[in-house]
Amino acid sequence: MQNGGIYIKVGQGLAAVNHILPKEYIETLSALQIGPEKGVMHLATAAIVNALLDLWARIEDKSVWKLLVDMTPDELVSTMDFRYIYRDTMTEEYMKGKLKQNEPRKKELEETIRQTGYPAYTTQAGWLGYTDEKVEELCRKSVQDSFKGFKLKVGNLADDMRRCKIVEEVIGYETKLMLDANQVWDVDEAITWMEMLAKYSPFWIEEPTSPDDALGHAEIRKKLKTHDIGIASGEMCANRIMFKQFLKCNGMDFCQVDAARIGGVNELLVVYFMAEKAGVPVCPHTGGVGLSEMILHLQIWDYICLSQTDENRMIEYVDQQYEHFRYPNEASHGVYQVPIAPGYSTELKQESIQDFIYSTSNSCQRFQDLKMQKKMKKIKRLETTLTEKKEENQTEKKDETN
């Protein structure tokens, strides 16, 4: 902070965030091993950097994707953080060269995506706990909405095979079916399980094992390659270094970067460049509050400036919590429409802020009231128990006297 405002040195990238807190605070936090570049500290970094980018775009009266697209290669690359990846993985020269090489098609691709939108897939029918009838009903609705990709959560093999069969019969063979294990298997277990599900031709298996096990992912990928099943992962990767490990050991076929977990757009774009260089398409993680909003801007930038294709690239659609945003990015007819409002599409409605802000909101008050009600009920039960115990003791004493 300086004179009540945040200042950032141009070209310093994420290191500029260090100026927001006094140096001794950062050293203390480092001493406590909160991080580095992971956990709550990095999530906070992402929140600050993303908020600053949103503010910058609003000042320029542009959507974030347009702000990024309109930057020169030198301007954009100057914002990025190359620590721990420079030379052995990525260089400024490669980034600038790639962006300059792609300049001639930018205008054409911008016009195209404004007309076509960005491809989306849906997880609406795929949640565990749904009845077979519910899965089929939601699948049919999503087919009518023109989604070309469907994702199912997996858990129990017998249930998985039955649910895959239901979805396959509804969506047909031309539509992509993705599976999501949410980190539940060991490496060997993931291979065995997926070999049994291979007959349903899944496009990918997402997070088949521990999200930190890059070598485990690489082993699973190697074994499932014969079945033409891709490996998708990355939503839990906290920084560019983790993606460096996954990409260098061939641990993923689809990069699922998370816009709120990585330390802001400066680091996110570095991951996009690393994935592009490795030939790995980015299909980002969404689903949390505001994730779908933010990541769409980055995918549009990628389409116009970096990969210049949407082949094997799509954004997850989860129909929840859009009602809290002023300019939500909703999908229809199987695609996300290009945002036109200034900013990062993350501006919340005032009524939602008032309803959920910590300590003073209506929701917080309801929660506190509920906690108090539970506490009073617990006290009442305890008083009742003590009264009953006291009466029981008095009865026993009378019996002994008699």
Q: Does residue 178 sit in helix, strand or coil?
A: strand
Q: Does residue 153 sit in helix, strand or coil?
A: strand
Q: Does residue 255 sit in helix, strand or coil?
A: strand
Query: Residue 6: is its pLDDT beyond 80?
Result: no
Mean pLDDT of 210-237: 97
Catalytic residue among 66, 153, 244, 297: 153
Provide the pLDDT for residue 389: 79
pLDDT tens figures, 150-207: 999 997 888 999 999 999 999 988 899 999 999 999 999 999 999 999 999 999 999 9
Provide the pLDDT for residue 36: 79
Provide the pLDDT for residue 157: 87
Give the CATH number, domain containing residue 241: 3.20.20.120
Spatial neighbors of 289 by CB under 8 A, at least 6 apart, are 321, 324
Q: Please give the model's pTM, rounded to 2 decimal places.
A: 0.83
Query: Residue 268: is its pLDDT beyond 80?
Result: yes
Residue 42 is among the residues annotated as catalytic for this protein:
no
Query: Residue 354: is its pLDDT beyond 90?
Result: no
Query: Residue 7: is its pLDDT beyond 50?
Result: no
Provide the pLDDT for residue 20: 55
Provide the pLDDT for residue 11: 46
| Better pLDDT: 383 or 268 | 268
Is residue 200 assigned to a domain? Answer: yes
- pLDDT confidence band for 276 (50 / 70 / 90): very high
Mean pLDDT of 260-276: 95
Six-digit token string for 207: 């997070």
Neighbours of 370 (CB within 10 A): 10
Six-digit token string for 255: 């990069």
pLDDT tens figures, 74-111: 999 998 888 899 888 899 999 999 999 999 999 999 99
- pLDDT confidence band for 375 (50 / 70 / 90): confident
Residue 285 is among the residues annotated as catalytic for this protein:
yes
Provide the pLDDT for residue 315: 95
Query: Residue 23: is its pLDDT beyond 70?
Result: no
Residue whose C-alpha is closest to residue 247's, from 218, 222, 209, 283: 218
- pLDDT confidence band for 355 (50 / 70 / 90): confident
Is residue 329 assigned to a domain? Answer: yes
Query: Residue 28: is its pLDDT beyond 70?
Result: no
Is residue 59 assigned to a domain? Answer: no
- pLDDT confidence band for 391 (50 / 70 / 90): confident
What's the CA gap between 402 and 394, in Å, rounded? Answer: 12
Find the largest Cα–Cα distance for the chain.
Answer: 105
Output the CA angle 344-259-363, nearest 5 degrees.
75
**Overall number of domains in the chain:** 1
pLDDT tens figures, 105-138: 999 999 999 999 999 999 888 888 889 999 999 9
pLDDT tens figures, 294-315: 999 999 999 999 999 999 999 9
% of the chain with per-residue pLDDT over 70? 88
Provide the pLDDT for residue 271: 97
Residue 340 is part of which domain span?
Answer: 92-353
Rounded to 10 deg, the angle between the 157-171 and 132-144 helix axes is 30
- pLDDT confidence band for 13 (50 / 70 / 90): very low
Is residue 373 assigned to a domain? Answer: no
Q: Is 248 exposed, middle or buried (0-12, 13-18, 19+ CB in 10 A)?
A: middle
Is residue 2 assigned to a domain? Answer: no
Is residue 221 assigned to a domain? Answer: yes
Catalytic residue among 42, 62, 285, 297: 285
In the chain, the amino acid numbered 126 is G
Tell me whether strands 204-206 and 176-180 are parallel, antiparallel or unpaired. parallel
Print burial letters for 166-196: b (CB count within 10 Å at least 16), e (below 16): bbbebbeeebbbbbbbebbbebeebbebbee
Provide the pLDDT for residue 207: 97
Is residue 239 assigned to a domain? Answer: yes
Is residue 86 assigned to a domain? Answer: no
Provide the pLDDT for residue 4: 42
